[in-house]
Amino acid sequence: MGYSGFKVFWEGLRGNTGWKPVWRDPAPKPHYDVIIIGGGGHGLTTAYYLAKNHGITNVAVLERGYLGGGNVGRNTTIVRANYLLPGNSEFYSHSLKLWEGMEQELNYNTMMSQRGVLNLAHSDGQMDAFARRGNQMLIQGDDAELLDADGVRAHAPFLNFKSQRFPIRGGLLHRRGGTARHDAVAWGYARGADRMGVDLIQNCEVTGFRIENGKVRGVETSRGYIGAGKVGMAVAGRTGQVAAMAGLRLPIESHVLQAFVSEGLKPIIPGVVTFGMGHFYISQSDKGGLVFGGDLDFYNSYAARGNLPMLEHVMEAGMAMVPMIGNARMLRGWGGIMDMSMDGSPIIDRTPIDGLFLNGGWCYGGFKATPGSGWCFAHLLATGEYHKAATRFRLNRFETGHVLDEEGTGARPNKH
């Protein structure tokens, strides 16, 4: 079923009785060419691009819960390509271009809204760092504008320009950055993959791997054994646990990241504003809610829920830089489990087990990677070659020391 303005109008006239489920609910087949574990953004895009770019349609996505119930539906929806380091820079640039064509490609309204991402700077040193980052973004072919304090005031006059502790010196504005409707991204790719013959199998938890002579043969699941030529893991916060079932120990730790939303208000926040020094960022949803978040919980956890200490921390930081949020009523907060890698950058690679591939370590930034990740992971699964936008996301960088430490904070996953 294609969507169009006419279809919406027509269904409105007849009580919306003509909409059909947009993907099938198939029973697992005994064997697939490729099994993707995890029906989040990355698993769904991988399946979609396997079918679309490589013609591989005998594919199953196995999801232990429901499609989009993980981090793809829990994040704060920020999309951007403002990375500094070679490796990250070209990858996120590639991904942003896919975001820009996504709605037309999927015939699905993902509410992609490029209203800009502004990173605030509070010191001369930070301004220098942003100038360097902005230049790298321009060299990569993306956009960047270095704003002085007046430029920031013109863009976001509601910020606290009187702060003694965090004086606003300027900021880096990335106009092509913005937000998108996260659930719609999952649903759009799910529908697209299903239409090309991919089996999306929900309530199907992978509980083990069948590995013979160093090669993966299939997976044990809560719905029985399913054979596979190749298996790709795309399980985000569960990466360490699922890989352990195959006997792998990865340079990844899981931490909770929380976010919050206020009641709906009239439009006030232009795109996204980040206050990195205070670990706070904010945007406004199309419904009007102020969407904001902060830092990770510092201890490891698999509990996808919020807690009061981090709530207090985020509210304090928010009040410091955006004092007007004190007038808004908060509606809810939530948490998701982040697969934090040791250098803060992701992994798209094969594993030491033949036929078993890994997509993980996306930390708190994997939503913006969603289309690029699926594109590059599908490329690796289909061709055995690394896509040119993702050549550096290799596992062996943790052995060779050629890490992608964007934050320069060292091997401290919770610090990235």
Ligand X SMILES: Cc1cc2nc3c(=O)[nH]c(=O)nc-3n(C[C@H](O)[C@H](O)[C@H](O)COP(=O)(O)OP(=O)(O)OC[C@H]3O[C@@H](n4cnc5c(N)ncnc54)[C@H](O)[C@@H]3O)c2cc1C
What's the min distance (Å) between Cβ of 127 and ligand X? 24
Of 366 and 371, nearer to ligand X (C-beta) is 366
DSSP 119: E
What's the min distance (Å) between Cβ of 82 and ligand X? 11
The DSSP secondary structure of 139-199, one letter per residue, reads: HHT---EEEEHHHHHHH-TTS-TT-SSS---EEEEETT-EE--HHHHHHHHHHHHHHTT-E
What's the min distance (Å) between Cβ of 97 and ligand X? 16
Judged by CB under 6 A, which stretch of 17-25, 26-34, 131-139, 230-238 contacts ligand X?
230-238
Of 169 and 306, nearer to ligand X (C-beta) is 306
| Tokens found for residue 184 | 């719609």
With H, G, I as helix, E, B as strand and everything else as coil, classify residue 368: coil
User: How far apart are alpha carbons 91 and 173 in whole angstroms?
Assistant: 20
Of 81, 96, 184, 234, the one binding ligand X (CB under 6 A) is: 234
Q: What angle do CA 379, 384, 390 make, to 5 degrees?
A: 50
Of 127 and 211, nearer to ligand X (C-beta) is 211
Judged by CB under 6 A, which stretch of 143-151, 157-165, 233-241, 323-331 contacts ligand X?
233-241
Judged by CB under 6 A, which stretch of 143-151, 254-262, 379-387, 403-411 contacts ligand X?
254-262
CB 142 within 8 A of CB 109: no
Of 34, 50, 77, 216, the one binding ligand X (CB under 6 A) is: 77
Of 127 and 194, nearer to ligand X (C-beta) is 194
Number of residues that bind ligand X (CB under 6 A): 39
- From the list 139, 314, 335, 140, the residue with the least C-alpha distance to 237 is 335
Annotate 330-350 with b (16+ C-beta within 10 A) or e (fewer).
Answer: eeebbbbbbbbbbbbbbbbbb
User: How far apart are alpha carbons 286 and 183 in whole angstroms?
Assistant: 14
What's the min distance (Å) between Cβ of 121 and ligand X? 20
Q: Check binding of 235 to ligand X (CB under 6 A).
A: yes
Contacts of 306 (CB under 8 A, 6+ apart): 256, 258, 333, 334, 335
What's the min distance (Å) between Cβ of 14 and ligand X? 35
Q: Check binding of 413 to ligand X (CB under 6 A).
A: no
Of 133, 230, 238, 416, the one binding ligand X (CB under 6 A) is: 238
What's the min distance (Å) between Cβ of 240 and ligand X? 10
What's the min distance (Å) between Cβ of 186 and ligand X? 7
Judged by CB under 6 A, which stretch of 71-79, 134-142, 381-389, 392-400 contacts ligand X?
71-79
- Binding characters for ligand X, 176-215, by CB under 6 A (x = yes): -----------------------------xx---------
The DSSP secondary structure of 297-339, one letter per residue, reads: EEEE----S--HHHHHHHHHHHHHH-GGGGGSPEEEEEEEEEE
Q: Check binding of 257 to ligand X (CB under 6 A).
A: yes
Site residues (CB under 6 A) for ligand X, limited to 30-49: 37-43
- Own/partner long-range contacts of 285-289 (Cβ < 8 Å, ≥24 apart): 285/77, 285/179, 285/261, 286/111, 286/113, 286/181, 288/263, 288/264, 289/261, 289/262, 289/263, 289/264, 289/265, 289/331
Site residues (CB under 6 A) for ligand X, limited to 293-352: 293, 336
Q: Check binding of 236 to ligand X (CB under 6 A).
A: yes
Q: Is the dihedral of CA 412, 44, 54, 178 positive or negative?
A: negative
With H, G, I as helix, E, B as strand and everything else as coil, classify residue 120: strand
Of 76, 88, 89, 93, the one binding ligand X (CB under 6 A) is: 76
What's the min distance (Å) between Cβ of 271 and ligand X? 12
| Tokens found for residue 79 | 């999309």
Judged by CB under 6 A, which stretch of 62-70, 90-98, 153-161, 169-177 contacts ligand X?
62-70
Looking at beta carbons, which residue is closest to ligand X?
40
β-strand pairing of 78-79 with 178-179: antiparallel
Residues that bind ligand X (CB under 6 A): 37-43, 62-65, 69-72, 74-78, 205-206, 234-238, 242, 257-259, 293, 336, 362, 364-368
